[in-house]
């Protein structure tokens, strides 16, 4: 088969597990590749070659390159960028696709600057027109969509919004290449500086997000949301004033000036529903709002609304979900 275009995908992992969003990016790359006689190459930078590479092939990779080094156990942009740039020097790629997670966005910005190439971030739809990839990305806090095409130097970089490009695995064949790679001396220094951040789920990648606003009354009550998120396997989010008050870390903030999330299920607990908050979560597949004010704006976007005291309702939900999931 002749190949007109090569698409590279960077696999993200955490605690030795592939992040589901990487499989979504592979599936999206596969769909593009099928329209432009393309080949999909998955790059897995890791410290040990024990990843489920078959899964990468089932989700669309024609070739998987597992590149190992002890300092690639955790994501550090200096190490990932160094290793990836070496690979891009060895072979030519037309497109480079990454997840629009915190790490993926950082890495795409670093690579775009180093290579002097364009980047389209947080893409929500991809298509092919005239043999070229077109990407749609939200702008103006999600109020409008812009369609982006690339010009100039390659590879063109795209980061894809998590939870948007899901496809089931297919029965496929592919090649696997394993290689131990070198990293410069700084990688060890960086390793010493890296703090182990634990296995907290990134709010942008979570399929269930339990967010709290000022209606939670204080930082101590976020434990209720953590409990619900834990039972459901989700992540905790927050409104901006909650973050401004120092109740939660900025990485939890959902909205125009925080993270944009598209989970299957979004709980808005004690959140009024200001436009700036909606900008970050209104594309969630199902929204459950809990608010004591029946006229709160959040109810206008909610699929399910519970009017009442969030501090009383959330523990009931946690208890009931626990029972249902246990059975």
Interacting residues with ligand FAD (CB under 6 A): 213-215, 239-242, 253-258, 270-272, 274, 276-277, 280, 290-293, 296, 309-311
Residue 92 Cβ vs ligand FAD, minimum distance, rounded to whole Å: 39
Residue 221 Cβ vs ligand FAD, minimum distance, rounded to whole Å: 9
Alpha helical stretches, state H, the chain: 20-35, 53-58, 77-90, 102-115, 186-193, 222-232, 240-244, 275-281, 310-326
Question: Looking at the chain, which runs of residues are DSSP E strands?
Answer: 5-10, 13-14, 17-18, 38-46, 63-68, 95-99, 119-123, 125-129, 132-139, 144-149, 156-160, 175-180, 208-212, 235-238, 265-269, 286-291, 304-307
* Nearest residue to ligand FAD on Cβ basis: 255
Cβ nearer to ligand FAD, comparing 60 with 213: 213
Cβ nearer to ligand FAD, comparing 60 with 212: 212
Give the distance, in angstroms, between the CA of residue 95 and the centroid of all CA atoms in the same chain: 18
Cβ nearer to ligand FAD, comparing 38 with 212: 212
Cβ nearer to ligand FAD, comparing 162 with 213: 213
Residue 286 Cβ vs ligand FAD, minimum distance, rounded to whole Å: 19
Residue 269 Cβ vs ligand FAD, minimum distance, rounded to whole Å: 7
CB-based contacts of 256, cutoff 8 Å, min separation 6? 141, 275, 276, 277, 279, 280
Q: Which two tokens stand for residue 266?
A: 């979004």
Residue 203 Cβ vs ligand FAD, minimum distance, rounded to whole Å: 12
Cβ nearer to ligand FAD, comparing 38 with 270: 270
């Amino acid at each position: 088969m002749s190949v007109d275009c090569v698409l590279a995908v960077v696999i993200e992992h955490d605690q030795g597990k592939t992040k589901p969003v990487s499989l979504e990016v592979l599936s999206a790359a596969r769909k593009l590749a099928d329209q432009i006689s393309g080949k999909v190459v998955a790059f897995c930078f890791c410290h040990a070659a024990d990843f489920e590479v078959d899964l990468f092939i089932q989700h669309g990779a024609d070739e998987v390159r597992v590149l190992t080094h002890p300092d690639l156990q955790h994501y550090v942009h200096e190490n990932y960028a160094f290793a990836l740039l070496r690979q891009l020097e060895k072979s030519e790629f037309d497109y480079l696709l990454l997840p629009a997670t915190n790490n993926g966005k950082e890495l795409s910005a670093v690579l775009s600057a180093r290579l002097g190439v364009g980047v389209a971030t947080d893409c929500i739809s991809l298509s092919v027109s005239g043999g070229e990839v077109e990407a749609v990305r939200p702008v103006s806090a999600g109020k409008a969509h812009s369609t982006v095409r690339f010009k100039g130097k390659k590879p063109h970089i795209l980061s894809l919004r998590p939870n948007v490009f899901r496809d089931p695995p297919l029965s496929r064949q592919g090649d696997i290449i394993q290689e131990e790679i070198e990293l410069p001396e700084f990688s060890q220094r960086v390793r010493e500086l890296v703090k182990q951040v634990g296995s907290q789920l990134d709010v942008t990648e979570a399929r269930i997000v339990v967010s709290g606003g000022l209606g939670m009354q204080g930082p101590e009550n976020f434990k209720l949301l953590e409990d619900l998120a834990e039972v459901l396997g989700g992540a905790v989010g927050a409104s901006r004033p909650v973050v401004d008050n120092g109740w939660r870390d900025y990485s939890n903030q959902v909205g125009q000036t925080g993270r944009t999330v598209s989970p299957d299920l979004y709980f808005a607990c004690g959140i009024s529903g200001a436009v700036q908050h909606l900008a970050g979560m209104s594309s969630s597949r199902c929204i459950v709002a809990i608010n004591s004010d029946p006229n709160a704006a959040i109810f206008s976007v909610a699929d399910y609304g519970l009017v009442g005291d969030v501090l009383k309702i959330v523990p009931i939900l946690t208890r009931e979900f626990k029972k249902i999931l246990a059975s």
